[in-house]
Structure 1
Amino acid sequence: MSTELAVRLFLSAYEDDVAEGAMIVGDIHATDPSGQSRRGIVIPCGSRPEPKMYKVPPGRYVVSATLPSGLVLTEEVEAVADETTPVILDLTDSPYESHSWQYLMGNIELGRVYHDTAEMAPAISPGSRSMAAPPPGPDGVIPESTADRTVTATWIDAPLSSWTFPALLAAAEDESDFPLAELMARTPPVVLTPDVLNDPLSPLYRIDHKGPVGAPDSGPRGRQFLAVEVAGSLRLVTLPLPWGDAQAEVLVNARQSPTGSAVAVTVRDPLHGAALAYMAQGALTTAAALFDDMEPLFHDRSHPLAAVAGAYVLLGTDHRDGERDWDPWLERLAVQAPAWLSDAAVLRAVRLLRLSRSADDRAGAREALVAAFDRGVPFYTLGLTWLIDALAAFPDDEECVSRLDRARRLSWLADTREPFLILDLGEGRA
C-alpha cells in the first residue's frame, strides 16, 4: 500500500457548473530530510471535491495552495506510511455563496469584512481605483464618498465597427450625453439585473454565448461587451465570449476591491478559469500547470479563446531558441481563427519576430500586426501589451507607427490588472 496525501480545497459554493471541477495550483513542501517536495501540483476545489492523490515518502509536509490573488493557504500534515492522509484547505469564508468563484479568484474580500461590524470595512478600499472614490485629501486619505454608488450594467451586442481602435478612442473622447451602449450596439442593448443574492455594492452579472443568462437564442452574436456605470464613471468591459458553454462572470466593486480593480471579469471554466487569473498577474508558469495538455485546444475550432489563452502561456514561458513542436499549432490558429479574434494574429506576429529566421518572417510578422490592429482590440489585456511591443519593432514603417500611436493611447485607458480588456472611459453614461 502506498503513502499518499489526498489534497482538496473546500469552497462555500452552491453552483454546480464549477463547484466540483475547479483547479488551482499549489506545492507540497517536505519538512523532513527524507521527504520529497513537489512543485506545481493541481488542487481540486468545490463544496464536495474529490481529492487529488499525491504519493510521497512518509514524513511531515506543508501543503500550500496559491490563489490567483497571491494569497497562500497552508496546512501542515504528517504522511503516515502505507496510509492515505487527508489534506483539507479551507476557503469557505466567501461573503456570499453566489460570489464563491470570485472569492477563489481573489476579486472580493472575505466574509467578515462585509458582515462583521467589528471589522468596519472601508466604504472604498484605499488600494482600489474605485469608480466612486473621491480624490485623496492632503493627508493622502480617501474620504468617505457621498456619491450615489448605484451600479448600472448594460449588455452590448456589438458589430466590428464598434471595437476598432479609432472607434473606441472616439468613444473615450466623446463628451456628449448619448449612452455608450446605444452608440456601440448592433441589437438593442439590455440593462442587466444582478442576482438576488448580491450585495448592491458588489453586484454580479453572468452572460453566456447567447447573451445575458436566460435570454433566448436569437442567432449568432457579435462581440459582447458590458458598459458599467457607477457615480458617472464609465467602464467598457470585454466579455470573453463565446467560451464553449461556460458563462462569463462580471463583478463590480463599488465598495471593496482587494485587487484594486473596480470591475473583475472571470470565466466559469473549471479547467482554465484560474489559469486566466494567474495570467493577469504575470504568473504564466503557474498558469501553465492548468494547461496540462494544450494540443486538443488548438485542434478544437469551437473554442478559439481558450486556445489563445494557451498560446499566450506557451509563448510567455518558452525562452529557448529555434522552432517548437507547437509552432504548427500557432500557425493553424492564426489561419483558422475567426475574423473577430485579433489575439491570434498578435500571437503569430510575436512568434515570427522571435524566430527571425529570414526577411520573410519579419514581413509576415508585419502583415500579422497590421491585420491584428485592423481586426479591432484584442480580448486579452496581454494581447494589447504584446501588440504595442511588436509594432514598436517597426519604427521606420509609417503604417506601423500610426497604429502604434493609437494602440498606445488606448492602452492608457486599460486596467492592466485584469485578464480581459477593460477600458476606463472616464465620465459617461452606460
Structure 2
Amino acid sequence: MSSTALAVRLFLSSAGESNDAVIVGDIRSADLTGDTRRSILIPCGTDPRPTSYEVAPGRYVVSATLPSGLVLTEDAVAEAGRETVVDFVMTDSPYETHSWQYLMGNIEPESVYRSAASVPLAESVASRSMVAPVAGPDGALPETPFPDTTPLATWIGDAPPPHRSFASMLALDNDAVALGRFVAAGQPRVLAAPDVAGESVTPLYRFGPDGPVGAPGPPPGQRQFLVVEAGEAARLVTLPLPWGPYEVEVLVNLRQSPTGSAVAVTVRDPVCGAGLAYMAQGALDTAARLFTDVEGMLYSKAQNPLAAAAGAYVLIGTDHSGAQTYWDPWLERLADGFPWLADGAILRAVRLLRRVSGGGRQGASASPAAARERGRELARAALIEAFDRGVPYYTLGLAWLVEGLSAFPDDPECARRLDEVRRLSWLADMREPFLILDLRQRSA
C-alpha cells in the first residue's frame, strides 16, 4: 500500500537560469488529529522537484517561511495512500532576473513595484533606497517618478590588509570615496551597468570567483569590495568571494521600497543561500536547518571557509549548554587555518567567553576558577587578533566583536579597539548578512 504524504515545493519565475534554493517551513494538522512536521525543507526553483513528507490522512496547513520573514500558507488534504502535491508560487518578481532577490525579500512583488500609489515606509535609513525622497506628513513617499540618478559601481579586486583595517575604514573621506586607499595590484574598476531592460532603477551586479561576471580582468586578491555611489550616497559592500563555484549578487535599490535594504548581497548557493538571510534576520534556529555540514565546508576538496564561518555563527548562536561539543575543533581549524579571516578569530573568542560563562571546562586537570581565567585570557587574545585582522565579512561578526570586547572594560587594549569597532558599527546596515558600510552617514 502506498504511503500517505504531502509533497511540497515553491515555484519561482523562470529567467533561463537556475534559481534553485531551499527554504524552511512547517506542516501542521488543521483538525488537530494528524501529524505535525516542523522545520521541513522546501525546494524552490523554476521547476523544483517536490520533497515528500509522510503524514497521517487528514487536513493540513503547510507554511513556508521566507528569508524576509514573510510566511506563506497553503491548505492541503492528505488522502490515504496518496501523495498530495502542495505548490507555493512566487512568480510575481518585477523582473525575472531578480527572482532570487525576490525570494530573499530584497525586492517587492511586481504589483507593488509598478504601482503608482504611495507606499508608507518605516522611518528608517535601512528601509529606503539610496536616493529615496523624504516622507510627507502622512508618512508616505511618492512612488513616482523614479530617480534620475545612475549608480556608479566600482569593484575593488584586491584590498590589502592595511586598507581593510578598522582605522582605514573610519578614515575614509567624508566627501568622496577614497578608492585609491584600497588599491593593491592594478586600479579599481568601474563596472558597466547591467544591460537588462528595466534594471536601471534596481540594477543587479553579479560576481564569480574571479570577480565581475562577464568582465574578465587580472586575478582578484584575497579580499574584494564594491563601492556603490548614487547621488550623495555611498556604500562600501563586502563581497563574500570566493564562495565555491557560486555567484554572488549585489542588488542596488535606487527607488522607494517597502522591503529590503538600499544595497543587498546574496549568495546563489542552493543549499545555504537562504540560510544566510535567515541568519541576518536573527532566525538562527531556522538557519541551522540549512547549515548541516560545517565540517564538510572546512575539510572538503572544494574548501569554503566563508560558508563554514556562517555555519559556525549558527552553531554558536544556537548552543546554550556551554559544554564541549564535537564541533569545537572545527572552530580552531577555522581560526588557525585562515589567518586572513577575522570572523574565525571572532568565533573562537565568543565561543570561549560563552563556555566560560556557561561553566565549560578548558582543561580536564584545571580547577574551575583557573579554567575560567584561562578561558578569558584565550578569548581576549582572540578578540585582539580578530580586530588586528581587519573588518569581518559578516555583520553578525561585527556585533559579536563589540560584545566580546565589552567583556573587558578595564583593559586598555580592548577598550581602544572597542571604540573603533563601535564607531564602525554605527555605519553598518545591521539587516544584511555581509558587512555594508554607509560611508557618508557621518551624523550617525
**Shorter-chain TM-score category?**
over 0.9
Correspondence for 2:322 = 321
Query: Is the partner of 1:306 in helix, strand or coil?
Result: helix
Distance 1:238 1:57, change over 3 A: same
- Letter of the 2:435 partner, please give it: L
Which range moved further: 205-214 or 218-227? Answer: 218-227
Rounded to whole Å, the distance in 2 between the matches of 1:97 and 1:147 is 22
Letter in 1 for 2:44: C
Report SS of the residue matched to 1:426.
Answer: coil
Are 2:116 and 1:120 equivalent residues in the alignment? yes
For residue 26 of structure 1, what is the amino acid of its counterpart? G
Question: Equivalences for 1:1-400 in 2 at 5 Å?
Answer: 1-17=2-18, 19=19, 21-115=20-114, 119-122=115-118, 128-136=127-135, 140-142=139-141, 148-157=148-157, 158-171=159-172, 174-175=173-174, 177=176, 179-186=177-184, 187-192=186-191, 193-216=193-216, 218-300=218-300, 302-337=303-338, 339-356=339-356, 357=361, 358=371, 359-400=373-414
- Structure 1 residue 284: deviation in Å? 0.4
Q: Deviations over 1:287-313 (max 9, x none)?
A: 011123333123237200000000000
Contact 2:108 2:259 in 1 (8 A): no
Comparing 78-87 with 128-137, which one deviates more in the overlay?
Answer: 128-137
Equivalent residue letter for 2:179: A
Contact 1:94-1:110 within 8 A present in 2 as well: yes
Q: TM-score of the superposition, structure 1-length normalised?
A: 0.92
Q: Distance in 1 between matches of 2:120 and 2:439?
A: 20
8 A Cα contact 2:128 2:262, kept in partner? yes
Change (3 A) 1:63 1:176: closer
Give the Å deviation of 1:159.
1.5
Would the alpha carbon gap of residues 87 and 377 (structure 1) be closer, same or farther in structure 2, given more than 3 Å must change? same
Letter in 2 for 1:45: C
CA distance in 2, matches of 1:198, 1:162: 36
Aligned residues of 1:148 and 1:231 also touching (Cα < 8 A):
no
2:76·2:86 contact (CA, 8 Å) conserved in 1? Answer: yes
Partner-residue secondary structure (3-state), 1:349: helix
Q: What residue identity is the alignment partner of 2:77?
A: E
What amino acid is the match of 1:93? Answer: D
CA spacing shift, 1:74–1:140, aligned 2, 3 Å: closer
The answer for the alignment partner of 1:418 in structure 2 is 432
Give the partner amino acid of 2:378: G
Q: Which moved more, 1:71-80 or 1:147-156?
A: 147-156
Q: Secondary structure at the match of 2:228?
A: strand
| Deviation per residue, 1:117-148 (Å, 9 max, x gap) | xx315499555233212444566555678964
When structure 1 is superposed on structure 2, of 71-80 and 139-148 the one drifting more is: 139-148
CA-to-partner distance for each residue in 1:318-352, whole Å, 9 max, x for gaps? 11131111111111111112x32100000000011
Amino acid at match of 1:25: V
1:161-206 residue CA offsets vs partner (Å, 9 max, x unmatched): 21100000000xx2454x4323322231122222414421100000
Question: Aligned-pair distance for 1:260?
Answer: 4.7
Mean alpha-carbon deviation: is it higher for 210-219 or for 139-148? 139-148
Q: Counterpart of 1:99 in 2: which secondary structure?
A: helix
Letter of the aligned partner of 2:304 in structure 1?
A: H
User: Is the contact between residue 124 and residue 133 of structure 1 (CA under 8 Å) also seen in structure 2?
Assistant: no
How many angstroms apart in 1 are the aligned matches of 2:198 and 2:249? 13
In the aligned structure 2, how far is the partner of 1:15 from the partner of 1:383? 36
Which residue pairs with 2:366 in the alignment? none
Task: Give the TM-score taking structure 2 as reference length.
Answer: 0.89
Q: 1:163 & 1:139 partners in 2: Cα distance?
A: 42
1:202 and 1:131 mapped to 2: Cα distance?
11
Q: 1:401-416 alignment to 2 at 5 Å?
A: 401-416=415-430
What does the per-residue CA deviation read over 1:352-398, in whole Å, with 9 as the maximum and x for residues that have no partner?
11122422211111111111001100000000000010001111111
- 8 Å CA contact 1:136, 1:142 repeated in 2: yes
Unpaired stretches in structure 2, ≥5 consecutive residues: 362-370
How far apart, CA to CA, are the structure 2 residues paired with 1:327 and 1:15? Answer: 42
Q: Is the 8 A contact 1:124 1:254 kept in 2?
A: no
Counting matched residue pairs gives 419
Q: What is the percent sequence identity of the aligned residues?
A: 59
CA distance in 2, matches of 1:62, 1:43: 14
Judge conservation of contact 2:309–2:344 (CA < 8 Å) in 1.
yes
Determine if contact 2:252/2:262 at 8 Å carries over to the other structure.
yes
SS at match of 2:171: helix
CA 1:247/1:9 → structure 2, altered by over 3 Å: closer, same or farther? same
Query: How far apart are the structure 2 equivalents of 1:156 and 1:198?
Result: 26
Whole-angstrom distance in 2 between the partners of 1:120 and 1:248: 31
> What amino acid does structure 2 have at the position aligned with 1:120?
A
| Contiguous gaps of at least 5 residues in structure 1 | none
Quote how far apart the aligned CAs of 1:34 are: 2.3
**Partner SS state of residue 236, structure 1:** strand
Q: CA RMSD in A?
A: 2.1
Distance 2:120 2:340 in 1: 37
